Amino acid sequence: MPKIDHEALSTAARCRHYAMCKIDYLGTGLCPSGPEKHFVTFYPQGRMDLYRGLAEGRIPVTAALAEAADTCDLCGRCDLQCHFVTGMQPTSVMRALKDLVEAHRRAGGEVLSPAEDEGLRKMRGIVGRDGASNDPAVLWTYADDPFPLAGPRMPRYVALPRSRDEVSALVRLAGALGLPFAVRGNGGSVFGFVFTDGIVLDMGRMRGIAFDPENWCVAVEPGVTSFELQQEAFRRGLRVNAAEPAATVCGNIVCTGTFSTWSNVYGTAADSFVDMEFVGLDGSVFRLNDKRAPNHFAFEHKVVPSPGICTKAYVRLHPKTDDEEGLLVPFEGLDEAVRFARELAQRRLGLAVGVLGTHYIATFLSPDEGLAAKLKEALPQALGIDYAVFAVADRFARDAIGKMAPAVIDASLLRLLMLGLPRLVEPSWLDLIREFEGRERPWELLCRADMRPVVEAALRPSPETVSESVPEALRPFYRELYARPEMTDMVWLNMHRIVSARMSRRKHMFAFLVYVPPDKPLVIREVLDGFARVAEANGIDHDFGFLTPMDLGRRAILEYDYYVDHTDPAEREKIARALPEIEPWLDGLAARVPGVLSLKYVFSQGCSRKENFLYRV
């Protein structure tokens, strides 16, 4: 075996499978081989896995592996895409993969080409020759995720259906072959649902988007990602309630029901769609609105299998106005912040609303991990900000919020802070603010309109300034990127959610989501303390995520996050110890307090009416 580049291996092992290299979210264009071949194997994410698999001796050099290596032209796009969210630069891994394959060839090593068996032949009969594979390298890129509690699980085949009828035929074929199947959209699977030793159906070729403005909906096929759909809706002056950018829209609805800060007004679960089309587990096709269809609008308080494979979702479209802007209202305590967010919901003020902690704010705003760490410290210590309520609001709602809050970081100040971030965390500037002893809090001073000239002079906000925090080679790209207005527009960023993908930048993230009653601060405190207690007892990094009011503030969804280095066996053990502690505690709380429900129970029931799980009658 040729020499392994251990630095490249370490980078490869840290791939979070966020699939951000599968969407063109920065306008760089995609890795050309990905959209051509469709298998994840031919995207940077797949090549990261291939290098790891090859270096660890888990897969041989195969025809697909060699092709994946050869089709990378080291263009460097993946460095830009990956660095934006993870801080990593995968080109070194791509180069190492190519070198390894080349060295293998030079040494006269065998390039394995697995024979087509009967199952594959039939599968190719359905999806075409290029639409199915049993090449071990391809299978390997569908066998594993950063989910640290399970090892790799190699499927026997991967198939790429192009239509509902092909999905149906594949399901029937799986039945005939006696093989289980799993459906794969994009990204990583938090709890390992997308692995099987049978057939993986990658929906990446079903990418149809058909807008129906008369009916305020858009028909979306299962390979369409949230980013792509939102981008198309945005172009038309519309909006959808979208999940993480690389997540597929259909998969997300079915799995958990889409939730986001926009759920404040757009709801979740069945609120997100007009109708959905499924291929059932027996290959039959049904639509949810058909009275003869199984009732997936109902909810059962237990873990249940999914209704089948979603082949089309008629996603609801929402209007937007041209005066929407993002803002932040800082708070020193969580209770006050939750109370404020709930009040906005009750008074129907604002669209997207969420309570964020300093960890989220710092991570979202900072293009670099080191900068994020400094900002996370500076927010509470120097500026006195422990929490902030984020809101997207039109001008009328902004006027009202301005009257309700002691001070507001408006869109222009937020843009200024984002572009001046490296200066904001400089000790000399922070000193000036930290030692402010006046009646106003430091952030109130910062928000004052008459302070703006001084703040601008101190922070020197510009694409050049914010780019100082990234590695030198990437600065020209970041300067161009941050010169684009949308990169500092909190409405655009929040709709497309590209900065929230930074949450896993430092370590793999375990997101725990719980529906809570926001009018009960003690219950919220109990939930947060419970997660913190288990994390502390097991030595796990942890932090508050966000809380978004829903249903006019009657309920809220709360996220608490654990951070685990999935490449470190000791960290994997920690999370393995912690998870079994959480379930009984949270179940007990849910049984005792109406309105508390772990999102775990909504898995696969994302099509249900939210009223059926938010309220128990």
**Interface positions with another protein (CB under 8 A):** 384, 427-429, 431-432, 435-441, 445, 448, 450-454, 456-458, 460
The amino acid at residue 344 is: L
Instruction: Give Cα 548 to chain centroid, integer Å.
Output: 16
Pick the closer one to another protein by CB: 214 or 435: 435
Report the C-alpha gap between 230 and 226 in whole angstroms: 6
Following CA atoms 141, 143, 148, 149 in sequence, which dihedral angle do they give, to the nearest 10 degrees?
A: 180
How long a stretch of residues is the chain?
A: 617
Following CA atoms 14, 506, 527, 583 in sequence, which dihedral angle do they give, to the nearest 10 degrees?
A: 10
Maximal CA-CA distance, the chain? 79
| Token pair for 365 | 């705003």
Pick the closer one to another protein by CB: 322 or 437: 437
* Residue indicated by tokens 């199984």: 294
Pick the closer one to another protein by CB: 97 or 382: 382
Report the C-alpha gap between 99 and 400 in whole angstroms: 61
Exposure class string for 395-411: b at 16+ Cβ within 10 A, else e: eebbebbeeebebbbbb
3-state DSSP helix/strand/coil % of the chain, to nearest 5:
45, 15, 35
* H/E element, 427: helix 427-434
To another protein, the closest distance from the beta carbon of 429 in angstroms equals: 7
Pick the closer one to another protein by CB: 468 or 519: 468
Helix/strand/coil for 173: helix
* H/E element, 219: strand 217-220
Report the C-alpha gap between 573 and 61 in whole angstroms: 32
User: Looking at residue 62, what DSSP letter applies?
Assistant: B
To another protein, the closest distance from the beta carbon of 450 in angstroms equals: 4
Cβ neighbour number for residue 254 with a 10 Å cutoff: 26
Decide: 125 and 240 in contact? Cβ < 8 Å: no
Pick the closer one to another protein by CB: 443 or 531: 443
HEC per residue, 563-594? EECCCCHHHHHHHHHHHHHHHHHHHHHHHHCC
CA atoms within a 13 Å half-sphere pointing along the CA-CB vector of 184? 32
Pick the closer one to another protein by CB: 429 or 492: 429
To another protein, the closest distance from the beta carbon of 478 in angstroms equals: 19
Pick the closer one to another protein by CB: 199 or 433: 433
To another protein, the closest distance from the beta carbon of 108 in angstroms equals: 56
Pick the closer one to another protein by CB: 342 or 441: 441
To another protein, the closest distance from the beta carbon of 490 in angstroms equals: 24
To another protein, the closest distance from the beta carbon of 434 in angstroms equals: 10
Sheet-wide strand order for 199-202: 132-133, 157-159, 199-202, 181-184
CA atoms within a 13 Å half-sphere pointing along the CA-CB vector of 287? 10
To another protein, the closest distance from the beta carbon of 384 in angstroms equals: 8
Pick the closer one to another protein by CB: 447 or 550: 447
Pick the closer one to another protein by CB: 529 or 583: 529
Report the C-alpha gap between 428 and 421 in whole angstroms: 14
Counts of helices then strands in the chain (DSSP H, E): 27, 18
To another protein, the closest distance from the beta carbon of 435 in angstroms equals: 5
Report the C-alpha gap between 310 and 568 in whole angstroms: 36
To another protein, the closest distance from the beta carbon of 454 in angstroms equals: 5
User: Looking at residue 40, what DSSP letter applies?
Assistant: G
To another protein, the closest distance from the beta carbon of 388 in angstroms equals: 17
Pick the closer one to another protein by CB: 102 or 426: 426
Pick the closer one to another protein by CB: 72 or 337: 337
To another protein, the closest distance from the beta carbon of 448 in angstroms equals: 7
To another protein, the closest distance from the beta carbon of 379 in angstroms equals: 16
To another protein, the closest distance from the beta carbon of 325 in angstroms equals: 23
- Counting Cβ atoms within 10 Å, is residue 558 exposed (0-12), middle (13-18) or buried (19+)? buried
Pick the closer one to another protein by CB: 304 or 454: 454
Helix/strand/coil for 32: coil
